[in-house]
Structure 1
Amino acid sequence: MKNLLTIALLLCSTVVFAQAEKDVQNQVEKLRLALIDPTVANLSEISSIHLSYGHSSGKLENQAQFIEALVSGASDFATAEFEDQSIYVDKNIAIVRHNLVADVLDGGNANSIKIGVMLVWQKEKGKWKLLARQAYKLP
């Protein structure tokens, strides 16, 4: 009987973990799409009011600055793809790593970029919110 209970608990925790990972993956995809077609509503929905958003240049933004930069076009993504993505979930925190491959518009000219990114997501009131992002230059 103990063995059956142990197996049942392991199966339940595996299902819960798989669902959490899928939920985070869905939020990451919403972020990718919001980079290309940003609105105050979609960016607010996925990000925490405590957001710390770090660029590979060292520039830091809070949630309001992050949203303003994208909505105003100061940060203008024509395309954005996330490659080599990994997701680690532990209770209400998730760490996502990927490479961002994108075309960024600068004065009408497209510049291709490829940078590494680490995202930290936190579950707030039942929803995964982007708490921190740090980009870095790849070797």
Structure 2
Amino acid sequence: MPVSRRSLLAALAAAHLLSAAMPSARAAGPEAEVEAAVDALTRAILAADGAALDALVLDGLSYGHSSGAVQDKAAFIDALVSRRSSFPSITLTSRTASVVGDDAIARHVFDGETVSNGKSVPVHIGVLQVWHREGGRWRLLARQAYKL
């Protein structure tokens, strides 16, 4: 995936914002760090920011949709960056996070709107995410959405 100067600058800005939030998250514990990572991922999805998405997910990503479709890292990022799929709005509620060592489970209800192939559809799903701490930062390893 080619990286433009603009996307590199956007990624650096996102990393700076995330690192600025992390000291207060660390003070509140690892669960707050995971929540901050979930928020950073949500912002990157909304912005279709390929560089930020690349930094937030592991190479072995398994990204499951409520339809049953599963994407790897490249397909997940490409669908968003190419705008084949986009999210004009996302709201996360009923959020929980639990940490066991270098792994974490985050759950939430995902409400929003998706635009796929030019068609806008409301979204109301449950989501389970598995995060792994690598090099002191949380990165997404797996995500599975399910119908509510």
What is the TM-score when the length of structure 2 is the normalising length? Answer: 0.78
The question of 1:129 aligning with 2:136 is answered no
Match of 1:53 among 49, 63, 69: 63
The one of 106, 112, 121 equivalent to 1:96 is 106
Q: Which is worse superposed, 50-59 or 104-113? A: 104-113
Pairing 1:58-137 to 2, within 5 Å after superposition: 58-137=68-147
Whether the 8 Å CA contact 2:93–2:110 is kept in 1: the answer is yes
2:48–2:86 contact (8 Å) kept in structure 1: no
Q: Look up the match of 1:6.
A: none
Structure 1 gaps of 5+ residues are 1-15
Residue 38 of structure 2: SS of its match in structure 1? helix
Cα shift readout 1:71-108 (whole Å, capped 9, x = no counterpart): 11122100011110111111101100001101112344
Q: Structure 2 unaligned runs (5+)? A: 1-25
- Give the structure 1 partner of residue 14 of structure 2: none
Runs (4+) off by over 4 Å? none
Hey, what's the Cα distance between the residues in 2 that align with 1:51 and 1:87?
Answer: 19
Return the TM-score normalized by structure 1: 0.83
Whose radius of gyration is greater, 1 or 2? 1
Show the counterpart of 1:42: 52
Q: CA deviation at 1:110?
A: 2.7
1:11-67: CA deviation from partner (whole Å, max 9, x where unpaired): xxxxx7942111111110011111110121110111001100000111111111110
